[in-house]
């Protein structure tokens, strides 16, 4: 779909996956005026297909569009387009328990710009890709390098939105960490270099004495849909779950650490390394991480009752 002069979007069309033309002087190519989202469609045991809280992704895209001076599709247009694209690709949604269909909406400045300014026209498009279960629940765990060298986001920057240009600056530090055997990097804040922010593509949580903490979403971390869902589910189970600043030293003292995101689901962190200090955390069957994993993935895959009305049928 393309935006109209008044900032609304007209209905789009389903076309086969392939290359498309874009102006060399578009604002996305020159200035990174673009956003993305990530969602997953799951097949239930009864063969039906469902998605999880899609309106939350639509609202996050609208928030990002406001920040980058782009018009955005309405929540209804967004969710409807996602449904249409999944229906057109329904045969690619893996069988129950065998993975998901990843759905990637993009919104970007496709109109031509002369100077450094927002594009007069934007494009909203969605593509899909089947995914296998690459994380097998919490039976495997992540090893994170805590790094203060390069913060992921700065106060007043774009860390709070899914701006396409947030991701390439961390390629280098993540590549270096992987070369040393780590799964990913846990970034610290850009001002005091001691408060935990997030991992390159997921949110961070700690558990200490059955209290669950995650950093507050005050503009430098992405307010994850999974993060918000886990806070609500943990509270429903009777746990104290808070959005609260905590330092790397507090993280190293935690009982459990886990990450949340659409792609990673809930992943236990088995080890963190900070300034050569390695600390192991509790993982496995008898953890709160596992309990929350079972609950949210059960809802997403349709085997646990969705009492919150989060699931949308395709």
CA dihedral 166→171→176→182, nearest 10 degrees, is 70
- From the candidates 149, 162, 180, 208, give the one annotated as an active-site residue: 162
Which one of 26, 62, 214, 262 is in contact with ligand PMP (CB under 6 A)?
Answer: 262
- Contact between 203 and ligand PMP per CB under 6 A: yes
Binding mask 222-261 for ligand PMP (x = CB under 6 A): x-xxxx--------------------------------xx
Closest alpha carbon to 170 in 151, 156, 154, 188:
151
Residue closer to ligand PMP, measured from CB, 43 or 162: 162
Binding mask 19-48 for ligand PMP (x = CB under 6 A): -------------------x----------
Residue nearest to ligand PMP (CB): 224
- Contact between 198 and ligand PMP per CB under 6 A: yes
Residue closer to ligand PMP, measured from CB, 113 or 212: 212
Which one of 202, 207, 233, 288 is in contact with ligand PMP (CB under 6 A)?
Answer: 202
- Contact between 54 and ligand PMP per CB under 6 A: no
Residue closer to ligand PMP, measured from CB, 72 or 260: 260
Shortest distance in whole angstroms from residue 204 CB to ligand PMP: 9
Residue closer to ligand PMP, measured from CB, 81 or 185: 185
Residue closer to ligand PMP, measured from CB, 203 or 267: 203
Matching residue, tokens 């450094």: 116
Q: Which residues are catalytic?
A: 162
Which residues of the chain form contacts with ligand PMP (CB under 6 A)?
38, 198, 201-203, 222, 224-227, 260-262
């Amino acid at each position: 779909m393309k935006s109209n002069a008044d900032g609304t979007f007209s209905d789009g069309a389903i076309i086969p996956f392939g290359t498309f033309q874009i102006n060399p002087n578009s604002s996305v190519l020159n200035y990174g005026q673009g956003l993305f989202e990530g969602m997953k469609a799951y097949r239930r045991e009864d063969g039906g297909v469902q998605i999880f809280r899609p309106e939350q992704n639509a609202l996050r895209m609208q928030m990002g569009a406001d920040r980058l001076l782009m018009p955005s599709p309405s929540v209804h247009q967004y969710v409807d387009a996602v449904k249409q694209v999944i229906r057109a690709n329904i045969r690619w949604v893996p069988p129950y328990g065998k993975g998901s269909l990843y759905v990637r909406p993009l919104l970007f400045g496709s109109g031509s710009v002369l100077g450094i300014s927002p594009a007069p026209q934007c494009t909203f498009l969605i593509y899909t890709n089947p995914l296998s279960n690459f994380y097998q629940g919490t039976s495997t765990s992540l090893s994170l390098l805590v790094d203060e060298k390069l913060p992921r986001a700065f106060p007043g920057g774009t860390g709070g939105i899914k701006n396409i240009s947030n991701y390439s600056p961390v390629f280098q530090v993540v590549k270096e960490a992987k070369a040393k055997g780590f799964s990913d990097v846990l970034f610290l804040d850009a001002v005091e270099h001691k408060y935990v922010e997030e991992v390159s593509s997921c949110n961070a949580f700690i558990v200490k004495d059955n209290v669950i903490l995650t950093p507050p979403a005050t503009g430098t971390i992405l307010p994850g849909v999974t993060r918000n869902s886990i806070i609500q589910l943990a509270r429903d189970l009777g746990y104290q779950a808070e959005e609260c600043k905590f330092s790397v030293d507090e993280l190293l003292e935690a009982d459990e650490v886990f990450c949340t995101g659409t792609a990673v689901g809930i992943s236990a962190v088995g080890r963190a390394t900070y300034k050569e200090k390695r600390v192991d955390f509790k993982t496995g069957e008898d953890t709160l991480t596992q309990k929350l994993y079972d609950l949210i993935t059960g809802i997403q895959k349709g085997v646990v009752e969705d009492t919150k009305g989060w699931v949308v049928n395709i």
